Structure 1
Amino acid sequence: MAKKKEATVEERLRALYDLQLIDSRIDEIRNVRGELPLEVRDLEDEVAGLSIRLEKLVANLGVIDDDITGKKNLIEESKALIKKYSEQQKNVRNNREYNSLTKEVEFQELEIELAEKHIKEFKVQIEQKKEVISETKERLKERENHLKHKKSELDAILAETEKEEQALINKSEEYKEQIEERLVAAYSRIRRNVKNGLAVVAIERGAAGGSFFTIPPQVQVEIASRKKVITDEHSGRILVDAALAEEQKAKMDKMFSKI
């Protein structure tokens, strides 16, 4: 079996720059989505929280209604007892029995008075709960409408970019397989640590792309010779000459237009 030909430094630089262009394109697509996925998730959580709160408020309203019913039943029972004790007073044999029944009647009257007081308090609570329920419903409706709008916005962006993004991710993996592991590892490390994920940049006006630090003429000549992989001493980025960058950009633009 013939031994696989080792890639030249220039071929490695071209492959790395191609990989950078692909990954930058993926970054652009994700930047278009921006914070939308997080916004949608936060809104979903908020809607779920408001829905749970509304359920609890409505359930609590039911409990208060049950309490009012209980107090009304107690009042009816007390009225029945008052009627019973009043009838018994007509047939008492002595003052002691009469006074005892009078105390029972007074006790039941106090029970009625207390129950009526509680009913009034419960009704105030109901009005307060209804106001909170109304506000919560209004807030929930507003958040649901906002969520619907944001989801629609996100779905539209996903529909437009998802296919392209996945194709580019596949291309990125494909290109990584063509580059030796140590270079891919270095590229990935630099990409994580630099602004905008640019690990491979071209020389622009005598400086590394996106940098204000001038690169010495001798180093620029070395970069243009494409004989070794050179990194920027300030940012750590891998450097390529402008001509190579233009050639690879033209090539990759054609590929992007087909995806």
Structure 2
Amino acid sequence: MSNLTATVKHVRSGVFHVVCLDSVGNRISSGSAFMSKGYLVTNGHVFDTPPQTSRVWLRRDEHTAWDQGVFLRRKEFERRRVVASPADEYDYAVLDIPELMKFSPYQFEVTSHETKSVGEQVAFLGYPLEHMNLTCHVGIISSFYRRGPVDVIQIDASVNPSNSGGPLFDVTTGSVVGIVTRKATGLTDLFKTLCQTIENNIRILNGMGMDMEMGGISIKQVLAAGQAQILSTLDQIERSANVGIGYAFSCKHLLEEADFSQRQATGD
């Protein structure tokens, strides 16, 4: 058995799927998270659930039925926050959800990226795309750099939507050195500008007081629906674009949070 195989087998119970559901149970968005010191750790942007979220389902891949895992109302999920940093800063959130302890999850050790070097092998676990099963990706650390105040770990591995919040860990020890945060798409700033233009068009159309009808059909509604469809298509393009490069924010910043670092470790 390889080091990675043994490590994944040992730690996988500590990784959870964060699924946001609307009022009728439709999936809106999702992300990944992991346990450390009895806390659930994820990205700040995963914690910031979409406004239409009604409930949050915290599950592992063996939780396939609606009566399995842990369900929290959106407001209750938000109240469980211990500390957090927004997406434009360190992008992490730490939550106290003791209900998860009934599943005896593995508790990851968290350490700084400063223990690692460029070229070292790392892996991450999570629930990418629309997957309901836990997946493992492996790659190497290709670079360290700072983006503003944040220490960023660039990895040569395919990060996909919903991998966000998962643990980036040492393949031998299982120690987490970073929190997976985003992927590289290869799309230029022109693509981002196009998306912003379409969003602005929709806001303008929805805010217009005047309307015209043709054959009993609202011209404003037709235009808004067309723009919304274009935006949805652009979103699918962005989600599927991947150049095999991902990024994680160093756990160094999380370790500087007294509420997290001073908590006694919980047995795994």
Fold shared by both chains (TM-score > 0.5): no
- Decide which structure has greater strand share: 2
Considering Cα pairs closer than 8 Å and 6+ residues apart, tell me whether 1 or 2 has the greater RCO. Answer: 1
- TM-score of Structure 1 vs Structure 2, range by shorter chain: under 0.3
Q: Normalization by structure 2: what TM-score?
A: 0.20
Tell me the TM-score normalised to structure 1 length: 0.20
Instruction: Kindly indicate which of the two structures has a greater share of residues assigned to helix.
Output: 1
